[in-house]
Amino acid sequence: MKKSLTLSLLLGVSLLAADYSGVIEVPDASKIIEKDLLAPVGIYKMPKGCITDDPKAIARGSFMFHNLNGENAKGEAPEGLKKVDAHGKNKQYGNCVACHNIEGAIGGGNIGPDLTAYNDVYVKSGIRDHQFVYQKTADPRVDNPNTNMTVNLTTKLFNEREICDITSYILSPK
């Protein structure tokens, strides 16, 4: 009894006295932060045939514009769009309505400009072109490094085709 007590005390002391610096990981915080930082601004050229009046593409664009993710989206996802991603996880959409008003928006936000009648107001007037809308949706930092808008293509939140669907939706007559 006495012996085992002495032993456990000895073990305790040696555990306390041991040098664990080689065992305990001391991560380099700057490396961790670097990983979380966004990649530099991506400049993207709109692929050929990107803007379309295909109602299916526009329906997908609209769904991604008006919903946060597959789980909270009401109704069936339109043809060609899934509510789960390739790993079976809840697919993230744009939730663009959180910041932008547009035709049919329920509680559209006003952090970003109102995108209602976009084609008439911005494109036909010559202020913007299709490439601008594509790039802005893909990586909005291009003309505003301090933008509050989400970065969608550089972060791979969306792929090229999805950016085209959303862009086609914004430009479509509604």
Contacts with ligand HEC by CB under 6 A lie at 65, 94-96, 98-100, 111-113, 122, 128, 133, 136-137, 140, 144, 147-150, 152, 166, 170
Quick one: tokens of 169? 């939706």
d(CA 51, CA 119): 12
Nearer to ligand HEC, 14 or 148 (CB): 148
Nearer to ligand HEC, 60 or 100 (CB): 100
Measured CA angle at 55 (ends 51, 59), to 5 deg: 95
Contact 107, 98 (CB under 8 A): no
Distances, alpha carbon 35 to alpha carbons 27, 31, 39, 143, in Å: 13, 6, 9, 24
| Distance of closest approach, residue 20 Cβ to ligand HEC, in angstroms | 44
| Distance of closest approach, residue 134 Cβ to ligand HEC, in angstroms | 9
Task: Centre a 10 Å sphere on the Cβ of residue 137 and count the other Cβ atoms it contains.
Answer: 26
| Distance of closest approach, residue 133 Cβ to ligand HEC, in angstroms | 5
| Distance of closest approach, residue 71 Cβ to ligand HEC, in angstroms | 18
